[in-house]
Amino acid sequence: MTPAPPAPTPPGSLFGPDAEFHGFFNDPRWALAVLRATVLEAAHPQIGAALIDNSTFVAHPWRRLRNTLVSLQRMFGDDDEVRRREAARLNRMHARLSGTDERSRPYDAMDPEVRAWVVATLFESALTMRRLSGQPLEPAAMERLYAEFHAFFRALDDTGGHLPPTLKEFWPYYDRMVEEELENTEALRIILFKLFDHLPAPPLLNGLPTVWAAGRALAGPVVGTVTVASLPEPFRRRAGLPEVPGAQALMQGAYLAAGLTRFLPDAWVRTENITSLLYLSPDSDDPRAVSLVALRDRMKRAGALFRLVTPFPVRHGPAEGASSAAAADGHRNAEEFFTEVLDQTGNGYLDWPDIAAMARELSTRLDLDEPQETKLYKAYADWWRELQEALDTDGDGRVSRQEYAAAVPSLAGPALIRVAEVLFTVTDTDGNGFIDATEYHALFQTAFRVEKPGTEPRYSRSAFIRDFLAFMTARDQTTPFDPLLTEG
């Protein structure tokens, strides 16, 4: 006889600062847990296929991480209206992700079983995080945490039927998924064996390729080894993942070391502070920018010294203290623009998922309601049709780098102008015909650069459209549009 589901707990009591989950969000160990959960998600055939076809996690992993953290904050916060809006946004976003994988198997991001597995991996990875760092949750806390994740799932899918109602029923479900459903997918292999080797620098370290490459060369293999070692053993064996000698000891050491950060001041480990620092620009009006400039100067000198004493090759990004020739004269060449801006998924082609990723990123930043979001997606869809007609010379339904470079990259037809107009309208929330400081920050995630102190900064409609078109047609390397869709 199947046990009856537990009596429902008022949803509000499962979210907010008193929830078990709340303590995880600012815990550095949570980064290891989220990475582990992402790998387990990618091992699901449907999720893996959706990631390969639609996600920007390869080309823009830092942006993907930041958006995930913001979404989790909204969903687990104590504001029911914010949670409702975020759940609706996530449902609209996932409803647009469907297709077939390389073996012609269908995938659908709205499949309740798929969505249940995403929540299951987050929950189980949170428990594993505590266990591996020597602080396993007590049974009552474990039950409470499961109730919170179940409430999170019900906020997305009000039936909640594909996630077992009780913790006792969860474990057979989890074991069955690991043993029967997971595969060594392409997305999993990219995350484990490619992403860390080619991880782009966060905005904080842009222009410091030697420093970043050196750190990545040391940390990347360690993070990959720790992640593989933390995966369920039955899946590791079946997927043929490598068993590195000493990996288990390294994994436990990494979790224990991350756990020691709980003794640091709260301000040092708060997720919001860390992510905002990663995205801090040297020309920002943030008071921390002064210290950032000094730190970058020291890092440049360290990078120069490193190049003198080691033959370590650096092939990614411009040299420290210098810009590329394209940046120097204010222009990008066509192939550079294609790679940095248009190819959002990083697969070497421009197709609808790349265009949709632009609309998705801007809709997320602006937290648009359904009518505004639909209007923005429609504008981008019309632009994609315009691009196809002008650039897809071989008729394969996508635009290659060569096709783009051979055409006129400064093409700015009516559809792209419409994108600029719609983007201005949805950003100008008060409808006064200007983008003010608050609206500007929502879109660009940075402050205005005020030329004259004491003046109120405003961005007019005509100036916004002019600069947007100059950026999107590679005519100019403008600020702030340059990092709008290019930052890691």
pLDDT of amino acid 371: 96
Structural domain contains residue 487: no
What the block records as the tokens of 146 is 């499961």
Say yes or no: 226 and 347 in one domain: no
**Cα separations in angstroms, 78 against 18, 28, 139, 258, 272:** 9, 22, 24, 27, 17
| Contact in structure between 416 and 383 (CB atoms under 8 Å) | yes
End residue of a domain, out of 257, 282, 311: 257
pLDDT at 120 over 80: yes
Say yes or no: 338 and 245 in one domain: no
Say yes or no: 93 and 195 in one domain: yes
Residue 440 neighbours by CB under 8 Å, 6+ apart = 447, 448, 457, 459
Q: At 317, is the pLDDT very low, low, confident or very high (cuts 50, 70, 90)?
A: very low
CA–CA separation, 211 and 209 (whole Å): 6
**CATH classification at residue 452:** 1.10.238.10
pLDDT at 271 over 60: yes
Worst-scoring range by mean pLDDT, 86-100, 125-139, 208-222, 411-425? 208-222
Structural domain contains residue 282: no
Worst-scoring range by mean pLDDT, 38-47, 163-172, 303-312, 397-406? 303-312
Question: What's the domain range around 444?
Answer: 326-472
pLDDT at 451 over 90: no
Q: At 323, is the pLDDT very low, low, confident or very high (cuts 50, 70, 90)?
A: very low
Of 146-155, 191-200, 202-211, 478-487, where does the model show the most confidence? 146-155
Structural domain contains residue 109: yes
Say yes or no: 204 and 75 in one domain: yes
Structural domain contains residue 301: no
pLDDT at 70 over 90: no
pLDDT of amino acid 85: 94
Domains identified in the chain, total number: 2
pLDDT at 463 over 90: yes
Say yes or no: 110 and 248 in one domain: yes
pLDDT of amino acid 315: 41
End residue of a domain, out of 236, 257, 278: 257
pLDDT of amino acid 152: 93
pLDDT at 319 over 80: no
Say yes or no: 142 and 226 in one domain: yes
Say yes or no: 209 and 332 in one domain: no
Say yes or no: 222 and 330 in one domain: no
Say yes or no: 249 and 383 in one domain: no
Say yes or no: 248 and 330 in one domain: no
End residue of a domain, out of 224, 257, 290: 257
Structural domain contains residue 364: yes
Structural domain contains residue 272: no
CA–CA separation, 417 and 200 (whole Å): 31
Structural domain contains residue 366: yes
Structural domain contains residue 129: yes
